[in-house]
Amino acid sequence: MPIIHHHISALRTALQPYRDQKNIEQSNLQRIALVPTMGNLHEGHLELVRIAKQHADIVVVSIFVNPTQFGAGEDFDSYPRTLDEDVAKLATVDADFVFAPSIDEMYPVLPPPTSVRAGAITAQLCGQSRLGHFDGVGIVVSKLFNIVQPDIAVFGQKDYQQLAIIKQLVRDLSYPIDIIGAPIVRANDGLALSSRNQYLSASERQIAPVLHQELQHLAHQLTSSKLSQQEADSLLAQTQTRINEAGFTVDYLEIKTDELNDITESAAFNTENKNLIILVAAWLGRARLLDNQLVAVNRPL
């Protein structure tokens, strides 16, 4: 069973022996991994822990519903808090420590007067409709990195924009941390696992896999023949129409490079070895679902 800590000082004290060993005896190097979560864990989270265990000796899982990344009218108050169940699940994948701080422990002053902003990369995709969301992600991830001081940290690729922002944060703030992006874990019907899937009604859950199916179909179209920018835009619009007609309300559906740059005619669908990514966010009832699909564009001109 993982050891639970609710206070920063207690977690630091618990991790210190591994740091001492690391400093004194390199032959017994102990690597520490961090898996940040907001709790209400599912199989996707557990897979992050399994990946962390492959790369580190000690795995710390944080469970903290972070108020600074929720906007007005979002589901902060109703977001499920299931600590006991989460700890029991983490025991099955051999997590070593759980860090479950209170809001007061993480933010002596709320909102915090200090901010961590990632610039232009936050002004697109989820950042357009969730203003300030990634500023909240930046401050909480920075704090967790400073508290745990991990050697590696594991994040899911379902939140692709968040993963890109965290990689940028590590680069720009010189954190000595390796960031691992874990592949999306899906249900048998293709729906990307998410804590918010439980907001879906039974009938909505039957519709939800359409999102992934449409991304797969679009990815196939993008790689099956040479396309102009205009043709690709047309395919994108047709896909969005079909998703909306299935019962979703699309927030965004976009094609970017895998570094989240915009596609241009000169560096688009006819360029060798140019990896693209299709990204979508769509509402289905109360649930805002995210998904993405990588597209390997390696056709010769």
Same domain, 206 and 138: no
Count of structural domains, the chain: 2
d(C-alpha 166, C-alpha 260), whole Å: 13
- pLDDT above 80: residue 158: yes
pLDDT higher than threshold 60 for residue 35: yes
> Is there a single domain that holds both residue 109 and residue 28?
yes
Question: Is pLDDT above 90 for 247?
Answer: yes
- The average pLDDT across 93-100 equals 98
Which residues fall in the annotated binding site?
38-45, 69, 156-159, 162, 185, 193-196
The yes-or-no verdict on residue 300 having pLDDT over 50 is: no
Domain C-terminal end among 161, 182, 203: 182
DSSP 8-class letter at 153:
E
Of how many residues is the chain composed? 301
Is residue 253 scored above 60 in pLDDT? yes
pLDDT at 73 (0 to 100): 85
**Binding-site residues from annotation for (R)-pantoate:** 69, 162
Active site residues per annotation: 45
What are the C-alpha distances in Å from 48 to residues 95, 112, 287?
A: 11, 29, 23
How high is the pLDDT of residue 124? 94
Percent of the chain surpassing pLDDT 70: 91
67 and 139 co-located in one domain: yes
Range of the domain at 119: 3-182
Residue 267: pLDDT over 50:
no
- How far is the C-alpha of 213 from the C-alpha of 206, rounded, in Å? 13
Distance between CA 147 and CA 62 in Å, rounded?
Answer: 11
Mean pLDDT value across residues 240-255: 97
Segment 89-94 shows an average pLDDT of 98
What is the reported pLDDT for 41?
Answer: 97
Give the amino acid at 275: N
Average pLDDT, the chain: 91
- Choice among 15-29, 90-104, 113-127, 207-221 with the minimum mean pLDDT: 15-29
Q: Which of 42-46, 97-101, 160-164, 262-266 has the lowest mean pLDDT?
A: 262-266
Question: Are 21 and 132 within one domain?
Answer: yes
Residues 199 and 171 in one domain: no
The CATH number covering residue 249 comes to 3.30.1300.10
Q: How far apart are the first and last CA of the chain?
A: 56
Q: What is the CATH number of the domain that holds 13?
A: 3.40.50.620
| Beta strands in the chain, from DSSP E residues, in sequence order | 3-5, 32-37, 58-63, 97-99, 152-156, 178-182, 249-257, 274-284, 287-297
User: Alpha-carbon torsion 108, 145, 79, 100, what sign?
Assistant: negative
| Cα–Cα distance measured from residue 129 to residue 252, given in angstroms and rounded to the nearest whole number | 9
Q: What is the pTM of this model?
A: 0.91
